[in-house]
Amino acid sequence: MEQKTNQRIAKISGHLYPSNSQIMEDSSEVMMRANCRAKGGAPGFKVAILGAAGGIGQPLAMLMKMNPLVSVLHLYDVVNSPGVTADISHMDTGAVRGFLGQPQLESALTGMDLVIIPAGVPRKPGMTRDDLFKINAGIVKTLCEGIAKSCPRAIVNLISNPVNSTVPIAAEVFKKAGIYDPKRLLGVTMLDVVRANTFVAEVLGLDPREVDVPVVGGHAGVTILPLLSQVKPPSSFTQQEIEYLTDRIQNGGTEVVEAKAGTGSATLSMAYAAVKFADACLRGLRGDANVVECSFVSSQVTELPFFATKVRLGRSGAEEVFQLGPLNEYERIGLEKAKKELAESIQKGVSFIKK
């Protein structure tokens, strides 16, 4: 009876740490820890979240655990991942495993189809994205080195800010490792699109789920350029509305940071947006047709090496990068402002690796 009880305990705790057959010492015997797997070999994709115990990572992990396209979910962080994994594992959906600390990064990444990276420090009041860069650049570099080694063919969704610089950092790491495929490296700018859809819907009096606003450029301040002239359904705005909407979309993150009064940043809406984009990537991997979303990717749309535009997602990642389409005068002026700042941010990321 005691042996059966110990075996059950081993199975229950098996999701907490990675192993093929990790040995646990008991005072009376040695027990083999079982991996927690989806019952019946459920079809789907293997997804890893790096930074799963953070403010974005926890709600992101919960929402990804609910996605029927995910059969195995790996949760990695340098702190607190066992607790998050234990909590998430009680949800009656596919398998989840937790990984803690740098020594377990390789195990967390091996065999993954999609890797989502929200790791890093969050924005605080008064903190610029440049301040974030100094901390998050090193984190992204380390994690991408792990990806290059353990799952070089995975699609990578990079959330860690400042995305305008961290995506170029990831690209340089992958180039050094000889595994760079620009189609598989996707900067997540979906939160800008989600905000644009929401704010435009408020002005138009529509359901935000019926609104589609292309948001191009980058993922910080004036580099965020909503193309209100291309809104679907087709709509017209006064100049005052255009300026109000553009400013609010560009500064949506600051709005949340200030509203939370020092207690956090836009973690919940970011997790929602990240899951929406990850789901699009998984549908692309499955072979669904016409999966189109905005993303910050390697691009020839402008003279810059990276730029956010609509992309068509497929089995190999961003299989098609769409052009900007017709812009009005206000958007053309905004584009030039965006490109100037974006060029500096991109170079900053490249220089971080090449220095």
57 is in an annotated binding site: yes
The DSSP code sequence of 201-267 is HHHHT--GGG-B--EEE-SSGGGEEE-GGG-BS-----HHHHHHHHHHHHTHHHHHHHHTTTS--SH
55 is in an annotated binding site: yes
312 is in an annotated binding site: no
Can 90 be counted among the known catalytic residues? no
51 is in an annotated binding site: yes
112 is in an annotated binding site: no
187 is in an annotated binding site: no
d(CA 273, CA 258): 20
252 is in an annotated binding site: no
Structure tokens at 346: 């991109």
Which residues sit opposite 77 in a β-bridge? 100
Which is nearest to 68 in space by CA: 50, 36, 42, 33?
A: 42
192 is in an annotated binding site: no
332 is in an annotated binding site: no
Structure tokens at 186: 């996707």
d(CA 287, CA 68): 15
136 is in an annotated binding site: yes
Which is nearest to 308 in space by CA: 321, 290, 326, 319?
A: 321
How far are the Cα atoms of 212, 291, 323 from residue 288, in angstroms, in the given order?
20, 7, 22
349 is in an annotated binding site: no
15, 74, 90, 219: the catalytic one is 219
d(CA 355, CA 348): 10
Q: Side-chain half-sphere of 230: how many Cα atoms within 13 Å?
A: 18
Report yes or no: 237 and 228 within 8 Å, Cβ to Cβ: yes
Structure tokens at 99: 């990984």
123 is in an annotated binding site: yes
The DSSP H or E segment spanning 296 is: strand 291-298
Structure tokens at 79: 């702190």
Known binding-site residues for substrate equal 123, 129, 161, 195
Known binding-site residues equal 51-57, 77, 123, 129, 136, 159-161, 195, 270
Residues acting as catalytic residues: 219
